[in-house]
Amino acid sequence: MKPFQQLLVSSAALGLVAPMAVLASETDLNRYAPVSSDQITNISQFGDVQPTDWAYQALNNLVEQYGCVAGYPNGTFKGAKPLSRFEAAALLNSCLDRVTEATDELKRLAEEFEKELAVIRGRIDGIEKKIGKLEAAQFSTTTKLQGEATFDIGAVSFGGSQYGPSTANGAGAITPNNGTTNATRYSGNNNRNWGALSFNYDLRLNLNTSFTGKDLLYTRLRSGNFTNSVFNGQPYSLLALDKAFAPTGGNNVVNIDRLYYRFPVGKEFTAVIGPRARNTEALAITPTFYRADLLDVFTLNGAPATYNKATGAAFALIWKQQVKKGQPFLAASTSYVAPNGDSSNPAAGGIATSSSGGSFLTQIGWAGPQFALTAAWRYGQCNQNLARRGTQFASQALPCSEGVGTTGVSPFWSGNSSSNNFALNAAWQPIKSGLLPSFSLGYGISSITSANFNGYNANGVVPINSNTQPFPSYGDVRNITQLQSWQLGLQWNDLFAKGNAAGFSFGQPTYVSALSQNQLRKPYGFAGGGRARAQSVYQGFYDSPNGPNDGNFAFEWWYKFQVSNNISITPAIFYLSRPNGQFTANGETNNAFGGLVQTQFKF
């Protein structure tokens, strides 16, 4: 017990017992004389104190630890008798003697370490001044700043014999991306345009603001320089990295990338609302344990058409069952995102209009520390991509029907071009990380309702002697009725060293699995080349009696070195077997092989 605490206890004891002093008899006072603590060194020296007494331990501590006790000359303590003021004074005096001794000792110690104490006092004064400056300079008492900088150095090599990415000219013909019909092949064209080694960055500054301790106002500032990089999805959508930002306004411009407010509703519900939010950031359950954050397609849980990362004006509600920590739980979430929700023109955007480009994403699932089982459905409006990442054939915008969403004011959800997208996911991870990896499997399937376009009669047939192309080409998105995808991801955490990780993922990104017209006539009557050129050069683009041939396999390998708590370095390689999908002509090939080193700094 510290000296000042002993003094307080003694004073308190005196204040409590003083009113009882009037009860003491004068005969007791005459027989009383203080006994020094030097004379009493053991509680057994009091003949009337027994181990069975309720205060025995307290008296024993006073004698042995503090020497703070007084009794009668005849060797008794008389613990059951009332205490007089004289007796209380004698007891207090005995305790104060010990306090004085302790104080003198402390003084000697203070004098001996005077220099060291002066240094410590100086440091404390300096720290207090710095804290004062920080408090005066801070921009908010409710906001914390977090950041992440990602450096990517890498390149892609293109192979195969296919022509470069194609576009349709006014007559419907498919031509190489340079607008000519020369003999330059895909591989040469792509290597010439996108084959250089590049160095890019992605910078994210997160402002996390809480007003109640349970809510979150999230603001993310973002910049990058991926506008002209192959890792921004050029020339194939599947080459895009998850952390590759091409700012609006050009490279190195800072954009507001996220802005939303997240708050609890009761004990089990959470709501999200904001003008710049993403549907996959408002899920009840993350359906995967594979978290490489390299190729964007492998961050979409094997179902890019369902988990399409739609971003814009958003409203979401999340429910999570309240259970003890570490126990499995049920959860569900639903969200609506309008990428064009910032427009006041109903023909070009708005919220809940035919031109919103809206997405409804609903997920239900069951999860625990080692597993996750989820099912999800997303309804996608017209003017949205069929799939965020897929073959060039599948990664096209789903148009609205004629006159809807393009001219005039359209009624709510009146466009008949839409998609229903479904996803099933199962993930498992071991209790202890090491040689056994986590497994994350995802599957997606989509049903497309497309608008018919000019040239069809009620049965979808036009006269075969028409002088214009009567049937839609495979390149027309309105011919697509079904999409599919799947992915398996393996990840080894703490492999070879604590904090390091390795991973491998492969699968088929979104590809077209059904068309409204499978056996289409070859185009003819093109200006400047005639039917022979169209048949010899573009034959595989149009005639496929057995259905679409849009398959493509994607692979990704990586190992992350955790250099420190805030720095990691991840070398990675990846391969795309046929990214052009259905646009690959019969007898032709195309592929892409790439590698990069990604360095992340978190602060």
Residue type, 207: L
Alpha helix stretches (DSSP H) within 170-299: 186-194
Poorest-pLDDT segment among 1-5, 60-64, 281-285:
1-5
Once rounded to an integer, what is the mean pLDDT over residues 508-527? Answer: 65
Q: What percent of the chain has pLDDT over 90?
A: 46
- At 419-472, the pLDDT tens digits run 899 999 999 999 988 889 999 999 999 998 864 444 443 344 443 334 444 445
**CA–CA separation, 389 and 588 (whole Å):** 23
Would you say residue 111 has pLDDT above 90? no
Q: Is 478 in contact with 472 (CB distance < 8 Å)?
A: yes
More confident residue, 116 or 202: 202
DSSP code for 65? I
Minimum mean pLDDT range among 233-247, 280-294, 420-434, 582-596: 582-596
**How many other C-beta atoms lie within 10 A of the C-beta of residue 87?**
23
Task: Answer yes or no: is pLDDT of 493 > 50.
Answer: yes
d(C-alpha 278, C-alpha 258), whole Å = 8
- What is the rounded average pLDDT of the residues 546-573? 93
The residue behind tokens 């002093």 is 21
Q: Token pair for residue 202?
A: 């992605």
3-class secondary structure, 63:
helix
Q: What is the pLDDT of residue 44?
A: 75
Tokens of 470: 């009567």
Amino acid at 544: S
DSSP letter at 543 equals B
Q: Which residues of 35-71 are buried (b: 16+ CB within 10 A; e: fewer)?
A: bebeebeebeebeebeeeeeeeeebbebbeebbbbbb
Amino acid (1-letter code) at residue 70: A
Three-state secondary structure call for residue 115: helix
Helix/strand/coil for 170: coil
Q: How is residue 496 written in tokens?
A: 């070879």
Out of 66-75, 498-507, 546-555, give the one with best mean pLDDT: 498-507
> Taking the C-alpha atoms of 319, 324, 325 and 331 in order, what is their torsion angle to the nearest 10 degrees?
-20
Q: Has residue 592 got a pLDDT over 70?
A: yes
- Mean pLDDT, rounded, for 544-553: 76
Q: How far is CA 592 from CA 125, 158, 339, 582, in A?
A: 62, 5, 31, 16
**Residue 4 parent element (H or E):** helix 3-17
Which residue(s) pair with 595 in the sheet? 155, 573
Report the C-alpha gap between 505 and 352 in whole angstroms: 37
What are the b/e assignments for 299-317, b being 16+ CB within 10 Å?
bbbbbbbbbbbbbbbbbbb
Residues in contact with 178: Cβ distance below 8 Å, sequence separation at least 6, in sequence order = 164, 184, 189
**pTM summary value:** 0.70
Separation of alpha carbons 116 and 266, rounded Å: 55
* 142-179 confidence digits (pLDDT tens): 889 999 999 999 999 998 876 544 433 332 333 333 33
Looking at every residue in the chain, the average pLDDT score rounds to 78
Q: How confident is the model at residue 61 (pLDDT cuts 50, 70, 90)?
A: confident
The whole-angstrom separation of Cα 540 and Cα 560 is 42
Residue 534 has pLDDT above 80, yes or no: no
Take residue 191 and report the two structure tokens written for it.
């290597």
Residues in CB range of 224: below 8 A, 6 or more apart: 200, 201, 202, 203, 244, 245, 246, 247, 251, 252
Query: Facing residues of 571 across strands?
Result: 597
Whether the CB-CB separation of 210 and 217 falls below 8 Å is answered with yes
For residue 235, cis peptide bond before it (omega within 30 degrees of 0):
yes
Q: What is the mean pLDDT of residues 574-599?
A: 88
Higher pLDDT pick, 94 / 357: 357
- The answer on pLDDT for 63 being more than 90 is no
* Span 299-343, pLDDT tens digits: 999 999 999 999 999 999 999 999 999 999 999 999 999 999 999
- Measured CA to CA in angstroms, residue 188 lies from 184, 185, 591 at distances of 6, 5, 12
